[in-house]
Structure 1
Amino acid sequence: MYHSVHPGAEKEWGPWQYAVTPETFERQLAYITTEYDVSSLSDLLESCLAGSPPAEPTAVITFDDGYRDNLTEALPLLERYEAPATVFVAGKYLDGMSPYEYRLAAKLQSATGVAVSIGGETVDQPLTDDESRHDAYERLRATLKFERSDVRDAVIARIDGTTTAAPAMLSGNELRRLDTHRLIEIGAHGYEHVPLTSLDEDALTSDVLRSKTELERYLDRDIEQFSYPYGACSEAVAEAVERAGFRSAVTTVPRRISAAAVSGSRFRIPRLDGATVSVPRY
């Protein structure tokens, strides 16, 4: 599992810690393609459901959120190593702003202080170094994670600073370019990109369905794979995803799974995070 792939992914706080540099991504790709048969998620699922899981150790490469650098930085490396991948796109981010975590961190990185209140949490402190910025970021992130996107945007707007350090997201045309590439398949990653376990039944159903129909409107084809935002999954969430017409869904549970077990766990497929594990773990 990957998110953003860009040269600035060296910071050890904020959302940058979940990104990887192109150099790190290429090093991991070289290892993965040497040690594993790399399959698309759809092809692996089809073979497993047909009762003929691959005999060789198999890896599936995925990206969450829908960053433009998945096209500009990651795709050329995927081409070099002939490695297929699935890009899960959050509908709200398409042609829009970066995830709130990046915009929040970018504002805090460029501001000299912060004074905001949200959900009973008040953060009022000077920002003088990485430690103070990290502290403010974690306190605000934890609260904003469960808020609607308009609430997140309003809080971030009250912080002085710029969001220029936030990575750009895919446009509709860029998404279509990825979708037509022989190595890429597109999946959904929710619409509002909120933890689906925090929503009531109606909001859950609406978000999951909208994430599917919005991408299908852009691409004029069925979207069959899903990635749970923040990995937040429950029985009710998994059932909503299946009812919406998806064929499989991936989590953020950090473990490997045998190919033979994929068909029985197709709405809770675990993934390892390329930003937090060393190459030999693969």
Structure 2
Amino acid sequence: MMSYYQRILQLSVVEKLCWHFKPHGLYVFNYHRIGDENDTAFDPHLFSCTQEHFKEQLEFYKNNFEVINIETLNSLIHSNKKINKRLALITFDDGYLDNYLHAYPLLKAANLPACFFIATDFIDQQKVPWWDEIAWLLKNNELHQEFIKKWQLPNGFQTLDSREQIYLLLKKVKSDTKTTMEEKLIQIRMDLNIDERQVMPKEQLFMDWDMVREVSANGITIGSHTCSHRILSHLEEQEQTFEILQSKQKLETQLNGQPVRSFAYPVGGETSYNKSSTKCLEEFEYQMAFTFLPGINTRLNKNRFTLKRFAISDNCNVETLKSSLCLHFIKETLSASTE
């Protein structure tokens, strides 16, 4: 069933007017992977769109925004001036290999800057991250009723397609603050009765350091996404310090001293970071940090450690992206008018 806002947008004239009067500010568009989600043995939700749709979206950004880089954003933050135009920033999280193979050539051809946020533990390693391991385990094992009950998954979980199953279990794992990610992975393996001989296929999922250096030299700013991609708010302050500082130092060493000023919170929801996180970022001279919450950034200096981003997902095309932005404008306008 369509929402109230979607019914409004069925009127094409409304969408045209909405888009014409789109607010000034910084629009940050965030991606994870580029390619076909049906071709992966791991988490399909990480695929933002295909190469074809990404190419179209880059043209869309060029035609509707002034696309800026992190250095320009840093200057805007410290100038503390009101934004009187529509700016766009393109970002990628994690550091997957397809960022180099598919996204980078298209960005370069379009002559557009971007920022790649790198989880350093995975670079140059044949290492499967925790979310992809969970996806692989669900895809390759029988899900019995005891497992579903223990993880408090909904009735009918077994009848859902693997994409929905992965989404629901990952949501449960991300919300659990009582145990570490390593402990949760061990528990999932035990609860699925995994044979110790059953191993995931070895595959280079992430870029190597030569690739990171190459993109850095050609219009891509490198930012930190921690070392291990653990959720910061689940960690003690000392562990947060390690993740935030060590990832920065590793990146700056590999980039021959080039300063790393930007950061993206793993998972990025409202509860994925806390005051200890932002305090640590400021202490180690990061200039900005990005969430995974949707919105247009207008007060850059005040909110520099909680910058919002629009997630690109489900292989959306330009028209779908445009409509989703218009929906956001309408919701924000109506919300503000009722306050």
Q: Could you tell me the TM-score, scaled by structure 1's length? A: 0.83
Could you say which residue in structure 2 is the equivalent of 1:215?
A: 251
Please show how residues 177-256 of structure 1 align to structure 2 within 5 Å. 177-181=214-218, 183-221=219-257, 222-231=259-268, 232-256=272-296
From 58, 61, 79, the counterpart of 2:108: 79
Could you say which residue in structure 2 is the equivalent of 1:105?
A: 135
Q: 1:133 to 1:229 in 2, by over 3 A?
A: closer
Q: 1:201 to 1:151 in 2, by over 3 A?
A: same
Q: 1:163 to 1:257 in 2, by over 3 A?
A: same
1:91-132: CA deviations, max 9, x gaps?
Answer: 222123232212221232233447997xx7489xxx976536
TM-superposed deviation, 1:150: 4.1
Q: 1:219 to 1:153 in 2, by over 3 A?
A: farther
Distance 1:43 1:243 in 2: 22
Rg larger in structure: 2
Distance 2:216 2:224 in 1: 12
TM-superposed deviation, 1:164: 4.5
Could you say which residue in structure 2 is the equivalent of 1:264?
A: 302
TM-superposed deviation, 1:137: 6.2
TM-superposed deviation, 1:27: 2.2
TM-superposed deviation, 1:230: 0.9
Q: Is 1:16 aligned with 2:44? A: yes
Contact in 2 for aligned 1:103/1:156 (Cα 8 Å): no
Higher relative contact order (CA 8 A, sep 6+): 2
Could you say which residue in structure 1 is the equivalent of 2:20?
A: none
TM-superposed deviation, 1:18: 3.5
Distance 1:115 1:88 in 2: 39
Q: 1:56 to 1:141 in 2, by over 3 A?
A: closer
Structure 1 gaps of 5+ residues are none
TM-superposed deviation, 1:185: 0.6
Query: What percent identity do the matched residue pairs reach?
Result: 24
Q: Is 1:275 aligned with 2:305? A: no
TM-superposed deviation, 1:177: 1.5
Contact in 1 for aligned 2:263/2:289 (Cα 8 Å): yes
Q: 1:111 to 1:214 in 2, by over 3 A?
A: same
Q: Secondary structure at the match of 1:62?
A: strand
Distance 2:124 2:31 in 1: 20
Could you say which residue in structure 1 is the equivalent of 2:123?
A: 94
Q: 1:132 to 1:88 in 2, by over 3 A?
A: closer
Contact in 2 for aligned 1:115/1:122 (Cα 8 Å): no
Distance 1:67 1:35 in 2: 28
Q: Could you tell me the TM-score, scaled by structure 2's length? A: 0.70
Distance 2:167 2:86 in 1: 39
Distance 1:166 1:116 in 2: 31
TM-superposed deviation, 1:139: 2.9
Q: 1:32 to 1:157 in 2, by over 3 A?
A: same
Structure 2 gaps of 5+ residues are 1-29, 326-339
Aligned positions, number: 275
Distance 1:100 1:269 in 2: 25
TM-superposed deviation, 1:15: 3.5
